[in-house]
C-alpha cells in the first residue's frame, strides 16, 4: 500500500471511531426512576411479590440489562397514598402504581378503567383493553394530563365487605359510613350510604375506632392481611361492585430522566384512525342490597 493511501485510510478510520464513540457510551447509559404506589408496604400482589409494583420494577431492570432501575416507594414513604397522580404529572416521580378509580376526582371517566359494577370478568376486561380499543381510549384521556398508562394486574371478583352490624334491610344502609371507592360507592350513595375514600393502610384503624361502620378491600386473604376481621364480624359476598379490578401504572409522556419522547403503551398506536371506542356501561339502578349477614369464618 502506498504511504499516501495508508494515511488516508487511517484518518478515515479514526474519524469513524470518533463518531461512533458517543453512540457506544450512550448505549451504556443507565436511568434511575422513582415509582410510588397507593399500597401499604409489603402488601402481596400489589406492593410486593409476583404481579406487584416491586415485581414489575425488578422485571424491567432485568429486561433492560440493568439500564433502567426503578425504586419503588409504598404509600406514605415518599408521598401520601393518593398523591401519585399529581406527583407524576408534576414530574416529582416517573411512575405511579394504583387503580384508576382513585383519580375520578380529576376526571369521572377514569372510573371505567378500574372496574364497573356488574361488569366484565378479568378476561373480558383485558380483551377490551387490548382488542376493543379500551387501552387507546384510556391513554387518550390520560393524554389530557400529559401521561400514558397500562394495566398491571387484576384481582378478579372481590368481596362485598366487612360490616360492624348485620344488614337486614335496605333501611340499615341509610346513614351507614362505608369505605368504598369507584362506581360501587356511587351506587351505595343512592341508598343513603355515606361513602368514604381511604387508602388501604388507613382502613383498619378507621373501622376499629368506629370512624366508619363498614369497609370493602379485596378478598379474604388481603382483608386478613389488614386485620379487617378483627374490626368487624359481618362479611358479605360476592362483590357485585368490583367483578374485576385492574391495577395500573402511569408515567409522563415525556420523561425528564431520559430527555426524549416516551413511547405509547402497547397496541395504542395501531388504532389511531379508528372510531372512538365506547365505554362499558354502568348500571342505571342501584345494585342488590345485602339482606343476610354472613358470619365470620376462619380463613
Q: pLDDT tens-digit profile of 110-128?
A: 999 999 999 999 999 999 9
In this predicted structure, the answer to whether residue 171 has a pLDDT above a threshold of 50 is yes
In this predicted structure, the answer to whether residue 213 has a pLDDT above a threshold of 60 is yes
In this predicted structure, the answer to whether residue 36 has a pLDDT above a threshold of 50 is yes
pLDDT of residue 2: 56
Residue 44: its H or E element: none
CATH architecture of 31-156+245-271: 3-Layer(aba) Sandwich (3.40)
Distance, CA of 23 to CA of 237 (rounded, Å): 58
Distance, CA of 84 to CA of 93 (rounded, Å): 8
Q: What angle do CA 112, 85, 225 make, to 5 degrees?
A: 75
In this predicted structure, the answer to whether residue 172 has a pLDDT above a threshold of 70 is yes
**Diameter over CA atoms, the chain:** 102
Put residue 133 in one of left, alpha, beta given phi > 0 → left and psi -120 to 50 → alpha.
left
Mean pLDDT of 269-287: 42
In this predicted structure, the answer to whether residue 63 has a pLDDT above a threshold of 70 is yes
- For the chain, give every residue range classified as CATH 3.40.190.170: 31-156+245-271
C-alpha cell at 249: 401504572
CATH architecture of 161-236: 3-Layer(aba) Sandwich (3.40)
- For the chain, give every residue range classified as CATH 3.40.190.10: 161-236
Predicted model pTM: 0.77
Handedness of CA 274, 114, 290, 177 (dihedral sign): negative
Closest of 140, 143, 138, 110 to residue 126, by C-alpha: 138
Amino acid at each position: 500500500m502506498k504511504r499516501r493511501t495508508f494515511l488516508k485510510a487511517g484518518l478515515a478510520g479514526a474519524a469513524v471511531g470518533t463518531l461512533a464513540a458517543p453512540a457506544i457510551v450512550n448505549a451504556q447509559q443507565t436511568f434511575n426512576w422513582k415509582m410510588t404506589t397507593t399500597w401499604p408496604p409489603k402488601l402481596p400482589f400489589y406492593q410486593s411479590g409476583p404481579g406487584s409494583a416491586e415485581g414489575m420494577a425488578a422485571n424491567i431492570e432485568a429486561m433492560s440489562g440493568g439500564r433502567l432501575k426503578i425504586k419503588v416507594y409504598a404509600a406514605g414513604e415518599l408521598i401520601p397514598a393518593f398523591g401519585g397522580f399529581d406527583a407524576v404529572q408534576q414530574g416529582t416521580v416517573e411512575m405511579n402504581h394504583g387503580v384508576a378509580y382513585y383519580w375520578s376526582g380529576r376526571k369521572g371517566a377514569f372510573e371505567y378503567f378500574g372496574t364497573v359494577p356488574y361488569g366484565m370478568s378479568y378476561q373480558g376486561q383485558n380483551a377490551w383493553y387490548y382488542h376493543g380499543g379500551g387501552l387507546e381510549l384510556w391513554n387518550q384521556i390520560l393524554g389530557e394530563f400529559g401521561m400514558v398508562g397500562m394495566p398491571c394486574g387484576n384481582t378478579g371478583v372481590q368481596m362485598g365487605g366487612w360490616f360492624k352490624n348485620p344488614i337486614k334491610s335496605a333501611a340499615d344502609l341509610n346513614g351507614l359510613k362505608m369505605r368504598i371507592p369507584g362506581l360501587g360507592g356511587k351506587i351505595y350513595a343512592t341508598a343513603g350510604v355515606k361513602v368514604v375514600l381511604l387508602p388501604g393502610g388507613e382502613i383498619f384503624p378507621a373501622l376499629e375506632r368506629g370512624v366508619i361502620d363498614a369497609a370493602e378491600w379485596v378478598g379474604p386473604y388481603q382483608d386478613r392481611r389488614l386485620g379487617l376481621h378483627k374490626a368487624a364480624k359481618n362479611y358479605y359476598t360476592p362483590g357485585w361492585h368490583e367483578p374485576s379490578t385492574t391495577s395500573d401504572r402511569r408515567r409522563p409522556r415525556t420523561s425528564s430522566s431520559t430527555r426524549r419522547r416516551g413511547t405509547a403503551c402497547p397496541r395504542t398506536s395501531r388504532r389511531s384512525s379508528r372510531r372512538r371506542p365506547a365505554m362499558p356501561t354502568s348500571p342505571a339502578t342501584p345494585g342488590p342490597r345485602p339482606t343476610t349477614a354472613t358470619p365470620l369464618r376462619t380463613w
